[in-house]
Structure 1
Amino acid sequence: LAEGLQLPFWTANAQQLERMSSGYGPYTLSRLCAETGGIFFVADDTTVRKWDPQIMRQYAPDYRPGLEYRKQLQSNLAKQALIAAAQLAVNEPVPIPQRAFQANNDNILREQITEAQKPLAVLDYFLQRVHEALEVGEKHRDKLDTDRWRAQYDLAMGRVLAMRVRAYGYNSLLAEMKSSPRRFEKEGSNQWLLQPSEKIEGGANVRKMHDKALMYLNRIIEEHPDTPWAFLAKIELSEPLGWEWREGQLAIPQMGGANGDNPRRPVFAPEEEERRRQAQEMQRKKDQFKLKV
């Protein structure tokens, strides 16, 4: 059963995490070795980040037989809640939000915002379900009996709360921009960028989730230093949970005659595709003409 909540990071500092290893072997093989009196050795760990084996020893997975493992799950509601939340995320694709929006005019900006909002509507429902699943066991968190379970639960709760705050602020700013597009202050700007900010959009409930997310994530860093859980918590906290708009400039391909007869104007994807199709058609006709001659 999955014990860790798998969520992507929205922060810019999350790189090469797919190659991060705890130093333990594959769970099934390691458990097989444990049940038969053997040891699974990791002979060549080529991952970039490594962890102190002495520290990680106290965070070892539970290698007891399946029946015993499931029996101990029934002894604590927080464990059951974490397993339930992790199962929800196993096959659920979580989108990475679009943060750059072309804004040559308001119509283009609104179209891009509309498309960016679609996956976030589904994401909000998913995050709410995961959060509710974890809340079922929150009062029993202090009764968790190992450092591994406590770190896993705190990271799951902290990250899902952080993502909910980010998603709410993201949707709020997009809706506001779509309703009333802002005007650029700098000459040549044609793009709006969403950047992390300390400003939290939303009412008291969102700010409460923000403070709670910080509490859970900072507790991991304090109580489980030099572990993968503390490392992931630091990445989540490496950028503020709010958003703000910043204007930018995007280089846009242009077309027009060399003699200046045709005014240069932006070329968008459909127009560029049509231009290429016409050029290919003209080349095909030229080739046919040459063959006839």
Structure 2
Amino acid sequence: MLARLVRTIDARAPWLIPLVGGRLDLEIPAYMVSLALHSAFLVVLALVGRSVHEAASRAMIRGGVVDGKLADSESTFQDLDQKAEVPPVMAAAGSFAPTLAPTITSAPSSAGAVPVSSDAAAGGPELARVDVQRATELVVPTATVLGQNVSIKGNGAEHVEGVEGAVDRIAVEILRRLEQGKTLVVWAFDASGSLQAERERLRKHIEAIYTHIDQLDESHLAADKGLLTLVVAFGRDRKAMTPKPTAELPEVLEAIGSVPLDESGDEETFGTVAEVVRRWGRYKDGAGQAYRPMVIVVTDEVGDDEPRLEEAIELAQRAKVPVYVLGSQAIFGRTNGYMSYTDPRTKRFFPRVAVRQGPESARLEQIHLPFWYSGPQYEVLEAGFGPYALSRLASATGGIYFVTRFAGEHMGFDPLRMKEYRPDWVRRDQYEAAVTKSPLRMAVVNAAELMQEQQKLPGMPSLNFPAVEDPRFKDVMAFNQGIAERTAYTVEEALGPINAAAKLRDREASRRWQAHYDLIRGRLLAMKVRCYEYNWACARLKKDMPKFKEPRANTWRLVPDTSVQYSEKAAAAARDAERLLNRVIEEHPDTPWSLLARRELKDPFGFKWVEAYVPPPPPRNESAEARKKMAKKAEEKPVEPPKL
């Protein structure tokens, strides 16, 4: 064996022979010969490993990138506000699976590769902007080789270009299922009013999915009832819209169009998945042929039976049934989103109806703190992921959460950048255990839940005050100082544990939790300083009682100022807030955290008084009849918005 090793060294690295003595019959201590030979052996292994790695790298570089979608067409899902015009899809928005995008395939030939720029091949920024072609123009692997060539695993949420983008992906997922045997696809439709306007348009996209399957199914796996479909509607109850699984597409489309409106406002989403798996998870046709089911849930809300989440997951895992979801993005750090809705019976329009669409995490992880001064409040900010419960359902069962709705007025974020901020889609008890073990995470979720109680946060106090001689001056001043004091009290309550965990910040390994902590601490410090500066400025005005210098001036106005004058401690807190918020911007660019940090820094933390002129309101010349109508309207009981 020793001689064989020497011959290997002589062949692979002859330059090593002199280093080990050239000949083994020299009188060299045995331990030195052994040491030299083992060292040489390790060098040879390293050389061989390097050549293998280089060969593999060259093979990887020759691969192609496939990321296809259909051409732009009528969107199935409108934005959250149900506008008549669907906003254009943002290329850098959505929800994303950490190991899904892009899909790497081995290109069968040079003609089948999607062209990639030289910058993209080098790993530069162009990689995220690969040209997207129509699905019918791409060289898509056939069903028989799909499992071999495409590395796709459903483990969470995936960014797609609206429902049009999901069509091709769902078709591919069904074909992958068909490769394993006869397949039953169960479509579960949310029957609530919030989806009523969408279901008719969705029929066209369902038809496109089955058309794609026919185009790609070169082995005819779906023929002869190899692919069956069942349509289920759910709200408070469940109803199978097809009497039995069918292979006829017209029956499927008719069933979708027949989904009844459920006016209960309850969505038994997870109970529906559980019952579907129980009933159809081991389906066999009349001839005893076994089918492999997959469930596709179409909804725009989380569901009202979340306690049944783990039951649904356990049943689906046991039956090996993947669950896919077509839904909305979660609202960042919030439970409810809002949408406009027109009641189909009364035709009454409701501009802002609450819809439970979040949060993206098992618990709330962001504070609800109003921004002062003019500018957006970002109360409804897309999280970049699906809601926690639905995302966990898809992730744990091997399915995918497809984000299929984008709202033009909401912010979208780069999917490649957002991958590292994925929430923890583990069981709630596992999530709670991880939070409990970390004082930093515990401080974050406690602050988030405390600051979500909106009744404790009255909003921004007024910045305009009448002249000190005005009889209203004292009352106006006292009322608004009370707002600032109340806000400061709540902020102090949340800030205590946050400050106590400051030494643990650098030990936190999660980018998501680092961003949470820095943003929350920075915003709370900024608000604390603003509240103290506001009350100090008000106290100074009451003490000095200045007179207007401008003849037309009739109002004292507080405007932002860079100088913090309350105390040196307040000035130091302001510097800490600026440092933390700037760190969020620098370390987490193009994310929701960075957006909110920039908004907080838009205005400085101090205040100064300026004179202003506010024209008085015009006189109201209302007739007796107009006053009577207004009084009657005020007495009317407001119409309750529908439950969606």
Please, what TM-score do these two structures have when normalized by structure 1? 0.83
CA deviation string 1:208-251 (max 9, x = no partner): 11011011101101111111101110111111111111111111
Residue pairs, 1:188-267, within 5 angstroms: 188-253=552-617
> In the alignment, which residue of structure 2 is the partner of 1:120?
484
Residue pairs, 1:84-233, within 5 angstroms: 84-93=446-455, 94=457, 95-103=459-467, 105-233=469-597
1:20 Cα deviation (Å)? 2.2
Q: Distance in 1 between matches of 2:373 and 2:392?
A: 34
Question: Which residue identity is paired with 2:384?
Answer: G
Can you give the 5+ residue segments of structure 1 that lack an aligned partner in the other structure?
256-271, 285-293
Q: Check if 1:43 corresponds to 2:407.
A: no
Which of 23, 30, 51 pairs up with 2:391? 30
Say whether the 8 Å CA contact 1:102–1:250 is kept in structure 2. no
Deviates more, 1:157-166 or 1:175-184: 175-184
1:119 Cα deviation (Å)? 2.0
Q: Check if 1:66 corresponds to 2:428.
A: yes
Say whether the 8 Å CA contact 1:194–1:244 is kept in structure 2. yes
1:36 Cα deviation (Å)? 1.8
> In the alignment, which residue of structure 2 is the partner of 1:21?
382
Once the two structures are aligned, what percentage of the paired residues are identical?
Answer: 33
CA deviation string 1:184-206 (max 9, x = no partner): 11111001111111111211211
Q: Distance in 2 between matches of 1:117 and 1:21?
A: 34
Deviates more, 1:166-175 or 1:24-33: 24-33
Structure index of larger Rg: 2
CA deviation string 1:88-134 (max 9, x = no partner): 11214322111111227343322211111122222221111111021
SS in 1 for 2:521: helix
Q: Distance in 2 between matches of 1:183 and 1:108?
A: 16
Q: Distance in 2 between matches of 1:158 and 1:79?
A: 16
> In the alignment, which residue of structure 2 is the partner of 1:4?
366
Question: Which residue identity is paired with 2:504?
Answer: H
> In the alignment, which residue of structure 1 is the partner of 2:109?
none
Say whether the 8 Å CA contact 1:104–1:191 is kept in structure 2. no
> In the alignment, which residue of structure 1 is the partner of 2:439?
77
Question: Which residue identity is paired with 1:176?
Answer: R
Question: Which residue identity is paired with 1:43?
Answer: T
1:175 Cα deviation (Å)? 1.4
1:67 Cα deviation (Å)? 2.0
SS in 1 for 2:496: helix
> In the alignment, which residue of structure 1 is the partner of 2:415?
53
- Give the ranges of 4+ consecutive aligned residues of structure 1 lying more than 6 Å apart after TM superposition: none
1:163 Cα deviation (Å)? 0.2
CA deviation string 1:127-167 (max 9, x = no partner): 11111021232211111121100000100000000000001
Say whether the 8 Å CA contact 2:522–2:580 is kept in structure 1. yes
SS in 2 for 1:7: coil
Say whether the 8 Å CA contact 1:73–1:80 is kept in structure 2. yes
Which is bigger in relative contact order (C-alpha 8 A, separation at least 6)?
Answer: 1
More helix by share: 1
SS in 1 for 2:559: strand
Question: Which residue identity is paired with 1:212?
Answer: D
Q: Distance in 1 between matches of 2:533 and 2:468?
A: 24
Q: Distance in 2 between matches of 1:70 and 1:192?
A: 50
Q: Distance in 2 between matches of 1:127 and 1:18?
A: 18
Q: Distance in 1 between matches of 2:520 and 2:510?
A: 16
CA deviation string 1:69-103 (max 9, x = no partner): 12221332111111111121121432211111122
* Change in 2 beyond 3 A, CA 1:220/1:254: closer
Q: Distance in 1 between matches of 2:549 and 2:498?
A: 44
Say whether the 8 Å CA contact 2:460–2:483 is kept in structure 1. no
Q: Distance in 2 between matches of 1:77 and 1:104?
A: 48
More strand by share: 2
CA deviation string 1:38-59 (max 9, x = no partner): 1111112114321110001111
Deviates more, 1:24-33 or 1:243-252: 24-33
Say whether the 8 Å CA contact 2:522–2:578 is kept in structure 1. yes
SS in 1 for 2:595: helix
SS in 2 for 1:2: coil
1:253 Cα deviation (Å)? 4.6
Please, what TM-score do these two structures have when normalized by structure 2? 0.39
Deviates more, 1:191-200 or 1:35-44: 35-44
Q: Distance in 2 between matches of 1:67 and 1:205?
A: 41
SS in 1 for 2:512: helix
Q: Distance in 2 between matches of 1:35 and 1:103?
A: 64
1:178 Cα deviation (Å)? 2.1
